[in-house]
Structure 1
């Protein structure tokens, strides 16, 4: 296992946010990046700009909505799945899986589910069930695996500045949280919370009521590690400075660092 920095970033429109994305890639130099909410068709994905920045890429786009991509620094991701296995009839571009730098990477953009109750929340839960089923096969893999992306789930009340305005939101519903907990119960490690069990960590600040300025955030971007990869986890964090740029996404890049384990003498 080599030293790697793995990140997930909901860019909220890659066309609009490309300058911010390129600036972040140049400064932080992550080795593997999972992107969500491209809001661009495949033909509009900025392959050449990313190649110039030193990144190979795979993308699964969709016009105006959704879309996911995996980037690899100084390498080319090797496609495993485009679309979530078990959900072949899903018309929305929300899952991409590839082998990158010796790691199996699942990049996901889980449905938001609002308004709830209703068909959008039902779709969220159906999609989650397909993810749980596929994740079980990945969790048991002999290979290192990370499931990284925008899960659109606030796991606990500790992961949000205040629940008062969000009690009816799909991100906080018991059904959403129960699905996320079932993932963890398979043996996945929630990397950020694992390293920082007692710290408030946010990855998302919406555009309303000065929530960024007041640090009124949510933690909904997660990197889950299977038992093969989890022992290599060394560090984790959020590049919140990206949220403070002009015309930012409402998310900030969330990342982990993995490294070889020291041999016991």
Structure 2
């Protein structure tokens, strides 16, 4: 990661009041083929919302995110693009993270305003590379809500590893958006399999350095529209964020995720997250 990116992350850290700096001690894709789960049991899975731009339906949710520190949430850079929200990120005055709410029709949990945000300037909208954004919360969440990050070389990235993806997106691939948090069990795939699946794709360009794939190869389980930015967790560690793919749960068309190891060292060094 570039010095420019590290400097921006450091600036985010310095924007926090000294008394609430996070401690290192302490975790455009609902889920097809998944099942409802409780937010209390998976507190690092949060909704990213704006009632002003998306309405009160489903609490204004439009993307997912992963709590990686008391004040830090990782999500997808493309979630904050005008193509998703309809406005420039600077014009979203009520950007909110919803934590501890399984059912978006209810008022359980907390709606925490986003104090500041960082969108990866290296995000390439054509290839989908660098699909990361960091949201800094105005109020801290409990430290145990954060999911640890899987850094480079972590065995959680090994092909065949079972992993769980979370979100409130489309459950069918036909616009049936979920009201409750869902999860689906998939497996990480070899980079060669993913590269082959998307060799001639117009949806994006698979880059093994910054992306990984997960799926059930025969199809039926996957992230979908509305799940973007949501967490992919293996062995209790965050390995990916929902980024892109072709269709939802289609055989031979795995979901593509931003590889968290790309940004893990910088987040940990800035005190925003832990392993």
Q: What TM-score comes out, normalization by structure 1 length?
A: 0.30
Q: Which has the higher contact order (CA 8 A, sep 6+)?
A: 2
More helix by share: 1
Q: What TM-score comes out, normalization by structure 2 length?
A: 0.29
